[in-house]
Amino acid sequence: MAGKKKSTISLYYDDEQRRLSKLVTGFSFDMFIMFVIIADAVVLGLMSSGIADIYYSKILFLLDRLFMGIFIVEMFLKMYALKKKFFNSGWNIFDLIVVIISSVPEASSFIVLRTFRLFRLLKYVHRFSKLNNLINMIIGLLPTFASFLMIFLIFFYVFAIMAVSFFGDVFTAFSTLGTSMVTLLQCLALDGWLINVARPVMIVFPYAWIYFVSLAVLSFLLVVSFVVSSFSQIQKLSKTK
């Protein structure tokens, strides 16, 4: 009799665990958590914007604590329902780490730690095919981007050294390698480089235009080659799907 009662209780808890597992891994539950994360993102943004007064800041703080409580309950439910299977998913481990970090008491003072929660939105990308395809496309382009970045850094480094050698004795903007790289970054960003950088240098060094034209042309060619290679890579990724 006792054994039958024990078996009935065991079956009850197994059935309850199965239902809870179905709940926490279901689409509706994922959408609810995603909504909470987005709402929390809005609250964090308002808390860091400086536009909320004392009254509203208290409400925002309470909402932030409420969302944090929901995330903690979510973790407990999933760990109870999934048991060891919980740790088989990298996303679950990522969620747990994010929740632990953002639950640290000091995290209330450092919004940077609490914003780690927003990275959890990446988990739900697979629920939307178009977003998932976009993420996969970006990941597929990473090797191309890494190659471009390496070539660009070499190019950037060489031109920075040349600028120090040519103009460093006269212009403080090119006096050291560090300042030279910052100035060239301003040139590449087209942030007033012609009036503030190139023309003053060309007044003192008449042939400096060769340097700046070479910088502009090679930068343009590098960017165009990256765009073309990226487009080609996108076509290849599209054909493989």
pLDDT of residue 95: 80
Q: What is the model's pTM?
A: 0.55
Cα(216)–Cα(219) distance, rounded to whole angstroms? 5
Give the model's pLDDT for residue 164. Answer: 92
pLDDT at site 137: 77
Tens-digit pLDDT profile for residues 90-110: 778 878 887 887 777 655 555
CB atoms within 10 A of CB 75: 19
Fold (CATH) for 2-124: Four Helix Bundle (Hemerythrin (Met), subunit A) (1.20.120)
Instruction: State the pLDDT at residue 146.
Output: 87
Stretches in the chain below the pLDDT threshold 50: 2-3
CA distance 67 to 79: 19
Q: Is the dihedral of CA 130, 136, 138, 141 positive or negative?
A: negative
CATH code given to domain 131-240: 1.10.287.70
Question: How confident is the model at residue 157, as a pLDDT?
Answer: 92
> Residue 63: how many CB atoms within 10 A of its CB?
17
Of 101, 97, 76, nearest to 20 (Cα)?
Answer: 76
Residue 30 confidence (pLDDT)? 82
Domain boundaries, the chain: 2-124, 131-240
